Each structure stands twice: as structure tokens, then as C-alpha cells.
Amino acid sequence: MKNLVIRSGSLRMGGLERVLIEVLQNLDQMKYNISLIIEDNSGDENIFLDEVPKWIDVYFLKPEELIQKTYYHRKRKKNIYNKIMYNILMAKEHSFVTKRTVEVLKEIELKYGDVDVFLDYDWGARRYVEKLKAKKKLVWIHNSVPKLLKKKSKIVRFGKNLMKYDKVVAICDDMKKELEEIYPYLIGKVERVYNPFNFKRILDLSEDKSDLSREDKKLLEDDYIVAVSRLDTVQKDYFTLIKGYKLALEGGIKEKLYIVGDGPDRKEIEELIVENNLEGNIKLLGKRKNPYLWMKNSKLFVHSSKYEGLPTVLIEAMICSKIIISSDCPTGPAEILKGGHAGALFKVGDYNKLGSILENILKDPIQIKNYNKIMEKRVLEFKSDFVIKEYEELINEKSYFNNK
């Protein structure tokens, strides 16, 4: 039985966290002793903690008090004192996390023996992974590196950190290609493994109305299209979404736009809605633990991003049998939607095209039928039982143990 350690940043609400839970719930406890290391103890915001299988040991690194103190000064960084305090606390956190991770691995080693595989699920251990004792070290990449890091110096440094791992795992083919183009020295070291999805869980939740308020039930009865994403204007292109939707309204569609999610730029998005006189058409539903019900009852799913990794939410919408309209951003949407055959794509920032697509699809049931036919086959490639086999093959592969 292999001793597997998986680390990640948090168990808060998020796409990466949802995928992590899916992996944990599907790995075979008869094959692995699994320990889960989570960097942030977020208290009540550890939304997914209850979904971690009970047989898995969970270790939190940073206490909630330290996280809150750092966050307090981060929000006030314009003040020189708070900026200094933030930098001090960040350095303290980094030192604390490194030391604590080493200690936790020793505890795990005493309990289960040598760590066979250390799996860094959000690349958060990259700065200190060489200090960790494990036979094999893997890192998962969930986002487009150049879009996320932007600065050339950061991109170069990141590549050097990736060399510390035995394998680098990209979650889509586009991302694998991107990594190998940026870092040619990683060729042969990068693997592609899709994210796994529990179809039954998603479909069951898509029918579950038990937590709905009376107001929610009324909202579900409306004709609407839906977007599900973090309210973050750095990555998510809400300007294009709102402008494109407005053009479709002017073209004659009647459906409302519901946006499920929350985030730091909610106020900015609310102002954008008001500027376009769309208060009666666009509804910000906030954070929902069960977005699938809103997907299932929508006319279609729309997604606008400037960049992605492999956008989990598109696959979840496909499982709910929703036609998807998405920006053709790096990386993932074009791959998921088969280049526009299993759903519609528009160029990043092209709100005119988005408006036109929305209008055409909502008025043409034949287009919906044609997309559905291809989508139903494509989505099967993301089923958990299929993807988990790829995880296990990667974890069990013997050829690159101790290959440094």
C-alpha cells in the first residue's frame, strides 16, 4: 500500500477545491494511505472539510488567527505601516509553513512509513519542495502560467521551481503544450490528466431544491441564462459578458441573466450593471454551494474569461446538459468544446460576437440540438472512474522514482 500525501492551499469554496474533493473521494483506500495537508485553516469557510473521506488524515498548517492578521494588513497596504506589517507577516507565514510541512511529513512517516508520493495540488510548495522528504514529487498546474504570473521574471523563476518535481501535470492538452513551449527543458516531464467529475453527484444536486428560499423558487421559474464564476474582474471578463448580454436583449431575447458566485469585485460589477440600466435583467445570486440546480434550470450557460486553466464549470454545465457559450481564452474552453463543435466560442473581449451568438442560439432550437449531440459524447471523457485510472497510473509509475 502506497503512502500518498496531497497538499493544497485551502478547503474554501472554489473550482480547484471541488476537484480535489472529487479526487479524494475516488482514490481507493485499499491501495493508498492518504494524508491531506491544507495550508490555510479558514474556520467556517472550510466549506469542503465535511466532504473529505473520514479515512483520510487532515493536517492544517496556518492557524486561522495568523491568516486573519495577514489579511487585515493586506487590505490596508496603501498605508506604509500596514504594508510593512503585511510583508513581515508574509515572511513569517512562509517560514512557518515550510517548517510545519517538514514536521507533518515526519509525523506521517512515523505512522505509515516513508512517503512514496508527495502531490502538490496547487503548486503552493514550489519554493520549499526540495526540503521535503518523499520518493516522488508531483505538481499539478491548473492555470495558464503566463496569464497568471504575467511578469517574465516570475515566469522564469516558476520554471526553475517546476524542475524540483519529478512530474508536472497539466489539466488539459493546451496547457501541456503551453508549458512545453515556455519551458522546453520540461519536455518529457509534463503529463496531461483531466479533472475527474462525479456525474451522479452533480445530477442529483441539480434536482435538489431542499435549500431554496421562497424567493429562489420564484427566480427558478423565470426564463434565464446563467453564468457561474468568481466575481473577479482580473480573470473574469464581466464587461464583455454584460455588454454582450445587453446587445442580445436589444436583439430581442427575453431571458434574464443570473450570475452565481461572489468575490472581491462585486461592487464594481454592480456598478457596471447600473451603468447599463440592467438592474431588472441581471441578478447577482451570490455564493451558492449548489450551483447545479441553477445550471439545470437555465436555457444555456455563458462563460467569459480572459484566461483559465481547465474551466471546471464548463464541464459541470455539460453534465447538466446545458449548451455552453464561452470565450476562447487560454487555456481549456476550445479543448472542452471541441473547437466550437460541442458549444459556441467567441474571441476574448468580443461582446458583439457574444451578443450575436446568444441571440442566434436562443432563437434556434436546431442549433441547440446539433450542439447537444456532440456534447453528450464529449462529456463522457471527464467521468471520475475513467480519470482516476489515469491518476493511479501516474502515482504508481515506477520509472521515475528517485530519478533526480
Tens-of-pLDDT digits for all 404 residues of the chain? 999 999 999 998 887 898 999 999 999 999 999 999 999 998 888 999 999 999 999 999 988 788 788 878 878 888 888 888 888 888 888 888 999 999 999 999 999 999 999 999 999 999 999 999 999 999 999 988 988 888 999 999 999 999 999 999 999 898 899 999 999 999 999 999 999 998 999 999 999 999 899 999 999 999 999 999 989 998 999 999 999 999 999 999 999 999 999 988 999 999 999 999 999 999 999 989 899 999 999 999 999 999 887 788 999 999 999 999 999 998 889 999 999 999 999 999 999 999 999 999 999 988 888 999 999 999 998 999 889 999 999 999 875 544 44
**Cα separation of 135 and 132, whole Å?**
10
Co-location of 51 and 188 in the same domain: yes
Give the 3-state secondary structure of residue 58. Answer: strand
Looking at residue 399, what is its pLDDT?
58
Co-location of 388 and 344 in the same domain: no
Co-location of 189 and 203 in the same domain: no
Residue at 68 is within a domain: yes
Co-location of 206 and 186 in the same domain: no
**Cα separation of 244 and 238, whole Å?**
10
Domain count, the chain: 2
Co-location of 279 and 147 in the same domain: no
Residue at 37 is within a domain: yes
* 333, 345 Cβ separation under 8 angstroms: yes
Co-location of 179 and 285 in the same domain: no
Co-location of 218 and 165 in the same domain: no
Co-location of 185 and 43 in the same domain: yes
Co-location of 185 and 247 in the same domain: no
Residue at 404 is within a domain: no
Report which of 279, 273, 248 is spatially closest to residue 344, judged by C-alpha positions. 248
Report which of 36, 35, 44, 27 is spatially closest to residue 9, judged by C-alpha positions. 36
**Cα separation of 348 and 108, whole Å?**
46
Residue 381 burial (CB count, 10 A): 12
Give the 3-state secondary structure of residue 95. Answer: helix
Residue at 402 is within a domain: no
Co-location of 52 and 142 in the same domain: yes
Residue at 282 is within a domain: yes
Give the 3-state secondary structure of residue 143. Answer: strand
Cell 471523457 -> residue:
381
Reported as half-sphere exposure (CB side, CA atoms, 13 A), residue 384 has a value of: 18
Residue at 312 is within a domain: yes
- Residue 162's CATH number: 3.40.50.2000
Element (H, E) at 226: strand 224-228
Looking at residue 403, what is its pLDDT?
46
Looking at residue 355, what is its pLDDT?
97
Co-location of 18 and 113 in the same domain: yes
Q: Which domain holds residue 30?
A: 2-196+384-396
Residue at 258 is within a domain: yes
Residue at 47 is within a domain: yes
Strand order in the sheet with 301-303: 282-286, 256-260, 224-228, 301-303, 324-327, 344-346
**Cα separation of 22 and 388, whole Å?**
10
* 120, 140 Cβ separation under 8 angstroms: yes
Query: String of b and e for 210-224 (b: at least 16 CB within 10 Å)?
Result: eeeeeeeeebbeeeb
- pTM for the complete prediction? 0.73
Amino acid identity, position 32: Y
Co-location of 146 and 247 in the same domain: no
Which grid coordinates are listed for 205? 444536486
Give the 3-state secondary structure of residue 284. Answer: strand
Looking at residue 402, what is its pLDDT?
45
